[in-house]
Amino acid sequence: MGHPSGVANCPALRCLWSKGIFAFEQEAAVLELRTVSKHFSGIPAVDNVSFSARPGEVTGYLGPNGSGKSTTMKMITGLIEMTAGQILFQGKPIQDDLIAYKRRMGYVPEEPHLYKHLSGVEYLTMVAQLRGLADRESSERIDGLLHMLALYDDRHASISGYSKGMRQKILIAAALMHNPELVLLDEPFSGLDVGSALVLRSLIQELAARGKVVLFSSHELDTVERVCSRVVILHRGKVVADDSMENLRSLMALPTLEKIFSELVVEQDTESMARQIADLIHG
C-alpha cells in the first residue's frame, strides 16, 4: 500500500507508517458526550456539556483556565466519574466496560506524571507490556518511536534527567504505540521544540486522516486553527460554540480563531488591560 497523503513528505511519519504503528481502522468509532456534568462540592466544573468527535476529524477543545477542559478530558478517560450524563464510544457507554474502552484509547495528559527512576526505554517497555503488545512488536515500535522522536541516544538515561520536552515526547510515544482508535491530547505541545512541534502537528492530522478519533485541547490557538477541522469552545463549564472552523468564521464574521475565542470567552478589553499594566510598571 502506498503512503497516505502527507506521509511521503515527512520521514518521521513515513518510518512509523512502515513499521505499522499507525494502521487504518476498519470500523468507524465516534466519541459522544451527552449532557455531561461534574460537580465538586456542589459547584459545577462541567455543566451539561454535549458534543461529539468523529473519525477523520481533529476536534479542538478550547477554553480559558478553569473552564472545565481538563476535567472533561479526565472524565472521557475514565479517571474521574461524571456527576450526570453519559459518555459513549461507538454508541456504548464507556462505563459498561471501562477496561476494554481504555485499551482502545491513547491519552497525553496535561501534567507529565512519569516514573522518573526509569529510563525512557524502560518506561515505554513497561507501557507496552501493560498494553499487551508482543515483545517483538513492542521492541520494533519503541525503537522506531525513540528514533523518530530524537530520543534514541538518551534511551537508557533516567527520565529524571530529561528536559520537559523529552518527557513530553515519552508521553506521546506511550499514548500512541498501541495504535489506539481514540486519541486524547491535553496540551500535547507543552515543552516541545519547533521541529518536534511541527512533526506532532503533521502527525495529529495524519492520525485523523487514517480514521482515528482525535480530541485535541490546547491554548495554542494558531496551532488549533491549523490542525482542527472542528472546534468546541467551553466557558465557565458550558459549551458556547461547537462547529467547523469555516462555519464559525462565517457565522461570527471574524477572520481568526483568536478573535472568535476573544469574542466568546474573554471578558475584559485585552488591549486596555495591556496598556494599564504597561502604565503601572512604567511609573
Q: CATH no. for residue 68?
A: 3.40.50.300
Pick from 10, 51, 2, 28: which is nearest to 238 by CA? 51
Does 2 fall in a domain?
A: no
Confidence of residue 1 (pLDDT cuts 50, 70, 90): very low
The alpha carbon of residue 75 and the mean position of all alpha carbons in its chain are separated, in whole angstroms, by 14
3 inside domain: no
| Structural domain contains residue 167 | yes
Residue 274: what pLDDT? 76
Q: Quick one: pLDDT band at residue 21, thresholds 50, 70, 90? A: very low
Residues in the chain: 283
pLDDT per position as a tens digit, 98-134: 999 999 999 999 887 899 999 999 999 999 999 999 9
Domain that holds residue 115: 11-282
Range of weakest confidence among 26-35, 193-202, 232-241: 26-35
pLDDT of residue 181 exceeding 80? yes
Whole-number average pLDDT of the chain: 85
Helices assigned H by DSSP within 189-256: 194-209, 221-227, 245-252
Residues of the chain above pLDDT 70, percent: 83
Tell me the H-state helices in the chain.
11-18, 69-77, 98-103, 120-130, 135-148, 164-176, 194-209, 221-227, 245-252, 257-265, 270-282
Of 144, 186, 146, give the one whose Cα is nearest residue 162: 146
**Angle separating helix axes 194-209 and 164-176, nearest 10 degrees:** 20
- 200 located within any domain: yes
The answer to whether residue 248 is domain-embedded is yes
| Beta-carbon count within 10 A of 241 CB | 19
| Strand order from edge to edge, sheet including 31-40 | 43-53, 31-40, 84-89, 92-93
What is the arithmetic mean of pLDDT over 257-269? 68
In the block, residue with C-alpha cell 529510563: 119
Number of domains in the chain: 1
> pLDDT band for position 83 (50/70/90)?
very high
Cβ atoms of 147 and 15 closer than 8 Å: yes
The pLDDT value recorded for residue 276 is 79
Of 35-44, 67-76, 188-197, 214-223, give the lowest mean pLDDT range.
Answer: 214-223
Inside any domain, residue 5: no
Confidence at residue 268, expressed as pLDDT on a 0 to 100 scale: 61
Hey, what amino acid is at 21?
I
Is residue 17 one of the residues assigned to a domain?
yes
Whether residue 7 has pLDDT greater than 60: no
Q: Is residue 34 part of a domain?
A: yes
